[in-house]
Structure 1
Amino acid sequence: MPKVPQPVTDDSIKVRQVNHYQFSWVAGEPGRPGTFTLQLVLDEGAWEEVLTVGADDADVLQDLLANTKTVHYDVSRRTLMFGVTSTGK
């Protein structure tokens, strides 16, 4: 049996399920583009993450988040993972 470091804490959990998300837009300086952020609520609020994204990425991510039933986020790699597929399918 593998040895699991103890204690297991919130900081030691690396992959979490996305439960809610919210896009925000912050205005830039006059004549400059604004900035989009994406706030992720993970594991029913046990963890939150805020990502800065470009307009094109925000558009794609909105579609993926709205149309994918299960989404996970790898905290240490800052990676969103969309969908779950059974092996052998």
Structure 2
Amino acid sequence: MSPTPKQPITDASIKVRQLSHYQFSWIAGEAGSPGTWTLQLVLDEGAWEEILTIDADDADTLQDLLSTAETVFYDVPRKTLMFGTTPVGHH
């Protein structure tokens, strides 16, 4: 006997997805104003996409984290990136 979901499973009902690809973009601001950084996340091999607006410091930090993490997950409703997993008992 297999469990029956209470609702149909849809793309929107999946809360946490794995990051497949990412792309940073910079958009020029008005003269004398700073530009705007965006980070496009391609999740589950393109099943979902998200675009985040970030500042320059966050872009720098995220580039470092994304370039070294083996696995990254994204919690869609909470807009939270989670870098890798660590087994219990490991540092």
- Shorter-chain TM range is over 0.9
**CA–CA separation in structure 1 for the residues paired with 2:15 and 2:24:** 23
Q: Which residue of 1 aligns with 2:86?
A: 85
The amino acid across from 2:9 in the alignment is: V
The size of the alignment, in residue pairs, is: 89
RMSD: 1.4
Q: Which residue of 1 aligns with 2:69?
A: 68
Is residue 4 from structure 1 mapped to residue 44 from structure 2 by the alignment? no
For 1:1-89, list aligned pairs within 5 A.
Answer: 4-89=5-90
Which 5+ residue runs of structure 2 have no aligned equivalent? none
**CA–CA separation in structure 2 for the residues paired with 1:23 and 1:76:** 21
List per-residue Cα deviations over 1:3-59 (Å, max 9, x = no partner). 632210000000000000000000000000000000000000000000000000000
**CA–CA separation in structure 1 for the residues paired with 2:81 and 2:38:** 14
Question: Given the two structures, how large is their TM-score scaled by the length of structure 2?
Answer: 0.92
The amino acid across from 1:7 in the alignment is: P
Which 5+ residue runs of structure 1 have no aligned equivalent? none
